[in-house]
Amino acid sequence: SASRVLNAALRNKIMSADEAAALISSGVNVGMSGFTGSGYPKSIPAALARRITAANEAGEKFRIGVWTGASTAPELDGALASVDGVEMRLPYQSDPTCRKRINAGEMEYIDIHLSHVAQFVWFGFLGKLDIAVVEVAGILEDGRLIPSSSVGNNKTWLDQADKVILEVNSWQNAQLEGMHDVYYGTQLPPNRQPIPIVRPGDRIGEPYLRCDPSKIIAVVETNAPDRNTPFTAPDDDSRRIAGHVIEFLSHEVKMGRLPANLLPLQSGVGNIANAVMAGLNDSPFEHLTAYTEVLQDGMLDLIKSGKLDFASATAFSLSPNALAELNADMALYRDKILLRPQEISNHPEVIRRLGVISMNGMIEADIFGNVNSTHIMGSSIMNGIGGSGDFARNAYLSIFLTPSQAKNGSISCIVPMVSHTDHTEHDVQVLVTEQGLADLRGLSPKQRAKVVIDKCAHPDFRPALHDYYERAMKQASGRQTPHILDEALSWHSRYLKTGSMR
């Protein structure tokens, strides 16, 4: 097939992945493209992993800092983590090998709000970005870049890195051209201006990424698919969770607190969030919109069925089947989807202005409404906070979802005190499990505790939670958020000792 590198000067920089990887030295910080299995570089990370292996065999240490948009795929995070090639990883991952290294203490990881990453780099808070490795869908004659299936932090990487390596992936659908909205108007304080988005579909930027051609040291041509893990089909619990959410949203419409077509939806990663989107497809709501970060299978189905008029995101996060469907029918979807940089898709100002309805998965919540999205038993990372904090704090409605139990009922996802806090009681308005929905708006901590236990906890764990709360009311040093400090985390330590919270 014809080359997608139309710029003559850049054609001269085409080389193999191994030659390009040889330009990356140990100790540098590399800004890679990639967001939830979309648009990550397909060949350079593997070439780099080969280089690292060779260096290790020669007795040399070879490690780099890896900055991305969000999670990537086995070809990037898996390949580099398996050769112990990552010194520091940020801002979000979900790779099993990566997770194992982090939890073994062999890799540093900073878990950052996704809207913060770009500005932290502009501010100089994260140190120097040496090299950008960015997948694009093509290079125009004038050197502008057609973004790939995710935008993520690419604008910032291309702008801030000293040197740039491009992967031009001809597998990416050519019709992606024109689906992006890259905003170049962001300034640093004190000169910042409002971000002029007032509807999810507003275009405020341009469809291409820019890059100073003198910084581009290599161009590698690839032809390889994005890879994402399939979602599990919604089970009974996730269907019940979706049912509670839809009943609640219907109630809010009836009470005049939401318009009939709701407000722009944000839906997070994971099976449960995806199941809620599937539930909306069978609901009476129409003319929905989305202002979200990832566009997953359920949302694509909503576009196909005509229920969702428009979706703004920063990346696709699709199962292999949904991805095949998108690519086969891109003409149907391309006018209804806009992909933006993640500092805009997750921008607190825009989320607050639009009045987003935010729905994210969680690991556990406590009886007072604090939420843990990231850690297992207080110490081990699962994935990361991702964009959940950007949305939860600033949303019109902030909703968190989980089955009431995990690991075959040995764990209660409603606990006396969360073992790690990502979203405080101040940022959490609604908790939902298959058991029911706790509407925490307007309730004090003591009032919340009763609602959370009765509506959300599994019936097997309810008596023990009530017992804890009632004894805390008697024994605690204060009655605002009553806890028995010696016992608050005993459910978690019991699990670690016996394999069960029961």
Which positions touch ligand 0RQ (CB under 6 A)? 36, 70, 92, 114, 268-273, 293-294, 360-364, 373, 376, 382-383, 385-388, 403, 406-407, 411, 413
Question: CA–CA separation, 39 vs 169, rounded Å?
Answer: 9
* CB 360 to ligand 0RQ: min, Å: 4
Catalytic residue among 293, 325, 364, 434: 293
Which residue's Cβ has the minimum distance to ligand 0RQ?
Answer: 386
Nearer to ligand 0RQ, 66 or 114 (CB): 114
* CB 316 to ligand 0RQ: min, Å: 12
* CB 285 to ligand 0RQ: min, Å: 21
Nearer to ligand 0RQ, 54 or 496 (CB): 496
Buried b or exposed e, range 296-315, using 16+ CB within 10 angstroms: bbbbbbbbbeebbbbbbbbb
At 163, the amino acid letter reads K
Nearer to ligand 0RQ, 146 or 411 (CB): 411
CA distances from 84 to 61, 78, 286, 459 (A): 9, 10, 49, 44
Q: Tell me the β-bridge partners of 109.
A: 89
* CB 152 to ligand 0RQ: min, Å: 10
Nearer to ligand 0RQ, 300 or 362 (CB): 362
- The DSSP string of 43-75 is SHHHHHHHHHHHHHHTT----EEEE-SS---II
Could you tell me which of 232, 187, 201, 64 has the C-alpha nearest to residue 132?
64
Could you tell me which of 245, 312, 255, 322 has the C-alpha nearest to residue 282?
245
Nearer to ligand 0RQ, 273 or 302 (CB): 273
Report how far apart the first and last C-alpha atoms of the chain are (Å, whole number). Answer: 61
* CB 178 to ligand 0RQ: min, Å: 24
Nearer to ligand 0RQ, 131 or 397 (CB): 397
* CB 348 to ligand 0RQ: min, Å: 14
- The two three-digit tokens of residue 280, written as one number: 């909306």
DSSP 8-state code for residue 230: P
Q: In 292-421, which ranges are E strands?
A: 294-296, 308-313, 315-317, 337-339, 357-361, 364-366, 371-372, 375-376, 380-381, 397-401, 405-406, 411-412, 414-415
How many helices and strands (H and E) does the chain possess?
18, 25
H/E stretch holding 102: helix 96-103
DSSP 8-state code for residue 254: H
Cα atoms in the Cβ-side hemisphere of radius 13 Å centred on 16 = 6
Question: CA–CA separation, 137 vs 162, rounded Å?
Answer: 22
SS3 295: strand
Respond yes or no: is residue 293 known to be catalytic: yes
Q: Are 316 and 295 in contact (CB under 8 A)?
A: yes
* CB 422 to ligand 0RQ: min, Å: 8
Nearer to ligand 0RQ, 138 or 200 (CB): 200
Could you tell me which of 56, 208, 94, 60 has the C-alpha nearest to residue 141?
208
Nearer to ligand 0RQ, 107 or 395 (CB): 395
| Beta strands 430-433; 357-361: pairing state | unpaired
* CB 51 to ligand 0RQ: min, Å: 29
What are the catalytic residues?
Answer: 293
